[in-house]
Amino acid sequence: MDLVNAALAVVKGLPLTLLLAVSALAIGAVGALPVSLGLQSRHIVVRLLCRLCVDLVRGIPIIVWLFVLKFGVVVGTFKLDALQSAIVGLGLVSIAYLAEIYRGGIQAVPRGQTEAAEALGLSSRTRLVHVVLPQAFTIVSPSIATYFVGLLKDTSIASTIVVAEMVFQAQSFARQNPTLAGLLPYVIAGGLYIVLSLPVAFASRRLDARLRRAVV
């Protein structure tokens, strides 16, 4: 009975966990594109500036970003609430990590592809959008899936700024049940993260295999 109650309590946080992970990934996937191009810019100032920003964002723990956003951002009467801070914070960190992944993917596209596109007289924009980026996406999609699994686990950090996701729910259940049952929610939450990451890992392998076939 305790087991069922603990599981029900933890599952209550599942929608928020998924919301956090998916919205942060969406922010990251879009925002990382300009940053990854900036990381390879011909202009040294742009390149170094992007490099500095990416390294700085990645060099600061997620929990610090969440606290800065939740407690620090006050513009007049505007404040970010806990959920908004968590989404913005995780999104920001995702931008930095994914920009690095994108950069690797773009650089992994064979030079001959760009040269061939140039020889065909394609404009630099067409070269990027229709030749380089689609191939780069193929290369990075498994890495994005791996990143998403990590992101899913990092959403647990949002519990420290009182977002009622799975770990927060586990905590409050444990607080209400100081007996032996208090151990269960942590075990269940941990297990649930592992279970959640299985389909992503599976999809990533499928995607990898299919995209490889499509290219070769």
Residues in contact with other proteins by CB under 8 A are 55-56, 58-61, 63-65, 67-68, 71-74, 153-154, 156-157, 159-160, 167, 170-171, 174, 178-183, 186-187, 189-191, 193-194, 197
Question: Which residue, 62 or 109, has its beta carbon nearer to other proteins?
Answer: 62
Question: Which residue, 117 or 174, has its beta carbon nearer to other proteins?
Answer: 174
On whether the CB atoms of residues 59 and 119 are closer than 8 A, the answer is no
Question: Which residue, 68 or 120, has its beta carbon nearer to other proteins?
Answer: 68
On whether the CB atoms of residues 12 and 169 are closer than 8 A, the answer is yes
- Quote the least distance from Cβ 169 to other proteins, whole Å: 12
On whether the CB atoms of residues 10 and 195 are closer than 8 A, the answer is no
Question: Which residue, 30 or 52, has its beta carbon nearer to other proteins?
Answer: 52
Question: Which residue, 10 or 140, has its beta carbon nearer to other proteins?
Answer: 10
- State how far the Cα of 16 lies from the Cα of 164, in Å rounded to an integer: 7
- Quote the least distance from Cβ 80 to other proteins, whole Å: 12
Which DSSP letter does residue 43 get? S
Provide the CB-side half-sphere exposure for 68 (13 A, CA).
11
- Quote the least distance from Cβ 179 to other proteins, whole Å: 7
Burial letters 173-205, b for 16+ CB under 10 A, else e: bbeebeeebbebbbebbbebbeebbeebeeebe
- Quote the least distance from Cβ 122 to other proteins, whole Å: 32
Which phi and psi (to 5°) does residue 112 adopt?
-55, -30
- Quote the least distance from Cβ 186 to other proteins, whole Å: 4
